[in-house]
Structure 1
């Protein structure tokens, strides 16, 4: 389930089936990276939430997934990107317990807590990109 020569895989998320595919791909990469079961679950949960956000709030987009190695560490990096309306109030969107809809209620803050690296890039009218990484312990 990885791209050419183990490179990144890009998945289109434009329906619920894309969210399911994203979870399956992330599970496979997490196992390949030898993340513990707990770490796999955290990454899959965060990916599921972010994929759903990409679909619901971003109107669809992509997830780029790859195994990465940096400073002797192995991990899984996921980048969710959409061309939606963007997030007008990032601080509010990253507040624990805040939700703008009917998702799992984890929101961005919950996803951020479940991973090791979390980078959010958004602006009103410019879409949203969220990059997350989970490192093997």
Structure 2
């Protein structure tokens, strides 16, 4: 079942807190239009918000994309966050609970991973970071 919206890959530039706020509203509306449950809409929106916030906080700017994906009879929404920032020096440490380089609670990336059905992150110092967040429709 395709989403009720016509969708190819949609790109959003992220450079400021205002962009993050607009992305949150956009993600919420998109996930609802795609027919996700209220819980899944919240999970997708929260995950996208965290990724966008990290782009602004750590890289300064980046891009997020949204795509409808079909893999082996499963359909879902894929959110990709990419930046060309300083990268994450120790990815294993960054993915651990309560680790933060900015004095926050350190729950963002590990929490985002828990919200996703599929999650992948790659990062190289001085090259940037790429995070895939995928949620399947039930």
Give the corresponding residue for 2:71.
70
Q: Would you say the 8 A contact 1:98–1:107 is kept in 2?
A: no
Higher mean displacement: 61-70 or 75-84 = 61-70
The aligned length equals: 133
Give the corresponding residue for 1:20.
21
Is 1:124 the counterpart of 2:125 in the alignment?
yes
Give the corresponding residue for 1:100.
101
Q: Would you say the 8 A contact 2:62–2:83 is kept in 1?
A: yes
SS in structure 2 at match of 1:57: helix
Q: Would you say the 8 A contact 1:11–1:64 is kept in 2?
A: yes
SS in structure 2 at match of 1:99: coil
2:105 & 2:25 partners in 1: Cα distance?
18
Gaps spanning 5+ residues in structure 2: where?
A: 1-5
Q: Would you say the 8 A contact 1:62–1:82 is kept in 2?
A: yes
Q: Would you say the 8 A contact 2:13–2:62 is kept in 1?
A: yes
Is 1:35 the counterpart of 2:60 in the alignment?
no
Once the two structures are TM-superposed, the CA of residue 59 in structure 1 deviates from its matched residue by: 1.2
Once the two structures are TM-superposed, the CA of residue 31 in structure 1 deviates from its matched residue by: 1.1
2:26 & 2:75 partners in 1: Cα distance?
17
Q: 1:103 to 1:136 in 2, by over 3 A?
A: farther
2:9 & 2:82 partners in 1: Cα distance?
14
Q: 1:27 to 1:102 in 2, by over 3 A?
A: farther
Q: Would you say the 8 A contact 2:97–2:106 is kept in 1?
A: no
